[in-house]
Amino acid sequence: MNLTRRDFHFGLITAAATLPSLAAAQSPAGDAAILARVDPELREGARMILSRPLPDPLTPDAVRAIRRTLPPAPSPLPPPAAAVERRVAPGIAGSPPVGVIVINRKSGTPPRPAILHIHGGGMILGRVADTIVASQRLAEELDCVVVEADYRLSPETPFPGPLDDCHSALVWLHAHAAELGVDARRIAVMGESAGGGLAAMLAIAARDRRTVPLCYQLLIYPMLDDRTGSTRAVPPFIGTIGWNAAANRFGWTSFLGRPAGSVQVPTGAVPARVDDLRGLPPAFIGVGSLDLFVGEDIAYAARLIDAGVATQLHVTPGAYHCFDGIAPQARVAIAFTTAWKGALRAAFAASA
């Protein structure tokens, strides 16, 4: 039986709640005030998340415990669904080889667009296997190839390791475009949450290193700024459902190898701190109005626009982090998904 994306998110929530000595409690009155701001169709999922908070504080041991208690990864959909192949891409710049999963490769057809997809998980969690079914469906719907990058997680592997893994996967995809039936002019990067942050970093790295010309960057509630919740305060009721300021500090600290919000961070590690955004591929940025990342995502979209990058910004009122995975049948979730799929279709058509 295949897990849905909703099952996985609830599984992650449940796994996080297996550490009762660390879990922070929310008062009923506080819950009510938060829920009043949530879209009605998203409240059931919000209640579930609030009842099973993330460990506080997050620690490396807590992260390892969450990883151990995650539900089994879903099995890929069987034929006639999009085919799934496991390959290995050589590392770039001295980095080790990285596993890649190729979805919907076909032979004997005209070259099609491709997406390099990067899973989320706050830089510290997430498994590439959990995204395969969703990527099979996306590949079939958009008639494209999807390649998943099995990047290393932090804190075990700090920057630049995870980004280098994603870059290795992208370079491999571009180099093997003909074999994979891919139009090398129509390669996009996509990710959710931390995966969206890595996708933004990758677009910058590909521009700076002149490795792969990208046609689009699809950033779904991306994690873009280490200063959120560390040196920059978060407004009330923002980031109170699911991924919160404390978790964000830990995720960024683990990834950067130094405290989140430090005066100096490694070049290219934090998209929001990159000075020059000119010459980046067109972008779609989508986020909920209650998401911890809403402020940084809006600010990044504005900076892209100022830099002359064609950018769509989609803010969903009353929505929290990963709302579309928790409540995919909610009207706002359907509208959100329809918007980013439409943007991606248009980008592929414009690059043909």
Per residue of the chain (352 residues), give pLDDT as tens. 234 455 555 556 656 555 544 444 556 667 999 999 999 999 999 999 999 888 888 999 999 999 999 999 999 999 999 999 999 999 998 999 999 999 999 988 999 999 999 999 999 999 999 999 999 999 999 999 999 999 999 999 999 999 999 999 999 999 999 999 999 999 999 999 999 999 999 999 999 999 999 999 999 999 999 999 999 999 999 999 999 999 999 999 999 999 999 999 999 999 999 999 999 999 999 999 999 999 999 999 999 999 999 999 999 999 999 999 999 999 999 999 999 999 999 999 999 8
Determine the length of the chain: 352
For residues 216 and 340, membership in a common domain is answered with yes
Taking the mean position of all CA atoms in its chain, how far away is CA 228?
17
Residues 89, 10 share a domain: no
Q: Residues 187-216: pLDDT tens digits?
A: 999 999 999 999 999 999 999 999 999 999
The runs of H, that is alpha helices, within the chain are: 5-16, 28-35, 43-51, 60-68, 132-142, 161-175, 177-180, 194-209, 245-256, 294-306, 323-326, 331-351
Whether residues 122 and 202 share a domain: the answer is: yes
Q: Which tokens go with 94?
A: 């001295």
- Does residue 76 form part of some domain? no
The tokens for 170 are 């992208």
Q: Are residues 90 and 54 in the same domain?
A: no
C-beta of residue 212 within 8 angstroms of C-beta of residue 115: no
**Are residues 107 and 52 part of one domain?**
no
CATH number of the domain to which 337 belongs = 3.40.50.1820
Whether residues 241 and 171 fall in one domain: yes
Closest CA to 255 of 67, 89, 58, 17: 58
Q: Sign of the C-alpha dihedral, residues 146, 147, 152, 158?
A: negative
Residue 154 inside a domain? The answer is yes
- Structure tokens of 172? 């491999």
Is 300 buried (19+), middle (13-18) or exposed (0-12) by CB count in 10 A?
Answer: buried
Residue ranges making up the domain that contains 136: 84-351
- Whether 79 is covered by a domain: the verdict is no
Question: Do 175 and 239 fall into the same domain?
Answer: yes
If asked whether residues 243 and 179 sit together in one domain, one would say yes
Q: Would 261 be classed as within a structural domain?
A: yes
Q: Quote the pTM value.
A: 0.95
> Cβ neighbours of residue 28 under 8 Å, at least 6 residues apart?
none
| Same domain assignment for residues 10 and 116 | no
Clarify whether residues 51 and 114 are in a common domain: no
How far is it, in rounded angstroms, from Cα 92 to Cα 105? 24
- The count of domains in the chain is 2
Whether residue 108 lies inside any domain: the answer is: yes
Q: Note whether 35 and 113 are same-domain residues.
A: no
Rounded to an integer, what distance in angstroms lies between the CA atom of residue 281 and that of residue 219? 12
